[in-house]
Amino acid sequence: FKAADGGVAHPITDEKTIYVLQGSLQTTVNGESVTLGAGDLASMPTGMLSNAGAPSDAVVIAWTAGSLTPGAAPAVVRGADVKPGGNDMLVLRRYDFPGNSVRVVTQRKGLKLGPNSAKTDSLIYITSGNEIFMEEGQNFQVTKGDFIREVAGAMHGWDVTEESGFVTTSALPIGAGPIDPDKATDVPK
């Protein structure tokens, strides 16, 4: 969203989770008006996304993927409350909320991951850098602004050619039943 175009003004329709990459916005979660800043997340928002004040720029990642388990409730997760994990090559900030999670990842140049497989689809937005995403024997050069889907059950991996980052959530494959978010990824030996 650009201030010059009126800023943030978007009705919530099918969006189930929103993550604010840059800027800030206002929305409703569980009947309460909330302001989200860069690094904050809302699960199951309703109403509108709008600027809290004067029109301003914002980058918002929105997913339509719902809960991995029944009974999810609306939630707000503040970026300041999410502790980083990982190591020198991969930093992971996991935003847990009822029924799913969003992962914000920074990868260092030279990191190679895989092959891995998952029980859920991963819906990934590349936030910075360039890297090679490999799936089922095909290589894809991905860069900032690209959106990709890791397909459930497919073997995939990453070759990080420069410092890069992405933000992702999980989605049930069509026809799949509920799954515990903590058991969604398989790592073959």
Tell me the domains of the chain and their CATH numbers. 3-77 (no CATH), 83-174 (2.60.120.10)
pTM: 0.91
Position 185 scores a pLDDT of 63
Angle at 125 between CA 76 and CA 47, to 5 degrees: 40
CA distance 120 to 117: 9
pLDDT band at 146 (very low <50, low <70, confident <90, very high): very high
Residues 49-81 pLDDT 10s: 999 889 999 999 999 998 998 889 999 999 999
